[in-house]
Amino acid sequence: MKGSGRRKLEQRTFMDQVRECMSNGYLLSSKKIGSGAFSKVYLAYATHERMKHNPKLSSDLRGKHHTMVAIKIVSLTEAPVEFSQKFLPREISSLNATYKHVNVVQLYETFRNSQRSYLVLELAARGDLLEHINTVSNHRCCPGLEEEEARRLFWQLVSAVAHCHKVGIVHRDLKCENILLDDQGFLKLTDFGFANCTGPKNSLLSTFCGSVAYTAPEILMSKKYKGEQADLWSLGIILHAMVSGKLPFKERQPHRMLHLMRRGPIFQRGLSPECRDLIRGLLQLRPCARLDLQQVAAHRWMLSGGHALFCVLHETPGQQTSSQHPVSEDKPKLEPDLLYPKQQRAWHPQQDAPKGTTSEPALWKPAPDEEEALLERCSGAPWQAAH
């Protein structure tokens, strides 16, 4: 199809989407904030009518003092059947199972027709962790985040993963790109497309999924594995990326990757011994030798800097915890991330979106030519491979 024909088709599709969102109570803006293999994510606004009828939406947005959401639109005509019948339902059920935790993106509702599936999600407006690490690294002229900031973010991540495991969900694709930040600096775990239920205790998984650079050695070696232990490995990779601005093992070929893993991570000068110890504890080749989440939470690096121990690891289902989102009067114990330099602020609901309008504030993303990527994205494993 010629360029102008394609543009017209895209415009028509977009207008259909606007209508479909409108009839479900959302004003879809043309601000595209992301895209995936078969999806596009747009900024949208919940109508007051919709908020009245959806308690998840109203309780959450009331606490946030705005009506913005992210709507992920999956094209069912483009996506392979297996994706729409298997992986998408899995993503939705994982998000429903993990509702509601301050550090996991909330799914407010879904709707669909024969062409498209819509996921109405909590908005995380500050981009992903990878972009954040790169921006801060450029700002500091030194790769990686300060350990103090890394600790604050890592706490939130550990809290999110602990919550997922507790409700029986293993993520299996933990990586910096799947960790978003909201406008208050809260970390939000997302992209549960590869997530799986943990099943009976000690049951093993056998599918390769995730991105090579974050994938545990037992998965690269095609062994049966425990999803929780594979997530722990990925946590070690993410922590290394946070504090050093680099992935510890960067190779596209699994066998070369294994060679690097056996050698172990190389740390940059200046990194504290406690942080090295925690990363090493997570990046153990033998899955059962890896620190578990309780040990991570009790590690001296995690506890240094006056950080309070979250009770999330001991939480019982349905219980409100300190780590839950600030709905109504519940103040979060987590401090918003104050390290964002003001000039790098994304946009703020009240300041940037005039009342009663659907104006589209510019979502902050570092300009690609402004920075040399310190982390190269390692291409994801083909989704087809996951079970």
Q: Is 70 in the site for ligand ATP (CB under 6 A)?
A: yes
Q: Pick the binder of ligand ATP from 72, 151, 171, 175 (CB under 6 A).
A: 72
Backbone angles phi, psi at 117, to 5 degrees: -120, 135
CB of 87 to ligand ATP, least distance (A): 9
CB of 37 to ligand ATP, least distance (A): 4
Q: Which of residues 88-107 bind ligand ATP (CB under 6 A)?
A: 105
Q: Which is nearer to ligand ATP, 20 or 177 (CB)?
A: 177
Catalytic residue among 128, 173, 191, 231: 173
Contact of 169 with 94, CB cutoff 8 Å: yes
Q: Is 134 in the site for ligand ATP (CB under 6 A)?
A: no
345: left (phi over 0), alpha (psi -120 to 50) or beta: beta
Amino acid at 168: G
Cα within 13 Å of Cα(147), Cβ side: 18
What's the angle, vertex CA 62, arms to CA 61 and CA 63, rounded to 5?
A: 85
CB of 42 to ligand ATP, least distance (A): 9
Which of 176, 191, 174, 192 has its CA nearest to residue 129? Answer: 176
CB of 190 to ligand ATP, least distance (A): 5
Q: Which stretch binds ligand ATP (CB under 6 A): 22-30, 78-86, 123-131, 253-261?
A: 123-131
Contact of 323 with 100, CB cutoff 8 Å: no
Q: How far apart are CA 314 and CA 162, in angstroms?
A: 9
Alpha-carbon Rg for the chain, nearest whole angstrom, is 21
Q: Which is nearer to ligand ATP, 151 or 175 (CB)?
A: 175
Any idea which residue has 């070369």 for tokens?
256
Q: Which is nearer to ligand ATP, 70 or 279 (CB)?
A: 70
Q: Which of residues 29-48 bind ligand ATP (CB under 6 A)?
A: 33-37, 39, 41
Residue 173 annotated among the catalytic residues of the structure: yes
Structure tokens at 257: 């990757």
Q: How far apart are CA 269 and CA 219, in angstroms?
A: 31
Q: Is 185 in the site for ligand ATP (CB under 6 A)?
A: no
CB of 74 to ligand ATP, least distance (A): 7
Q: Which is nearer to ligand ATP, 129 or 257 (CB)?
A: 129
Structure tokens at 332: 């979060």
Q: How far apart are CA 319 and CA 330, in angstroms?
A: 13
Q: Which of residues 285-344 bind ligand ATP (CB under 6 A)?
A: none
Q: Which is nearer to ligand ATP, 72 or 240 (CB)?
A: 72
Q: Is 122 in the site for ligand ATP (CB under 6 A)?
A: yes
Q: How far apart are CA 153 and CA 242, in angstroms?
A: 9
Interface residues with ligand ATP (CB under 6 A)?
33-37, 39, 41, 70, 72, 105, 121-124, 128, 177, 180, 190-191, 193
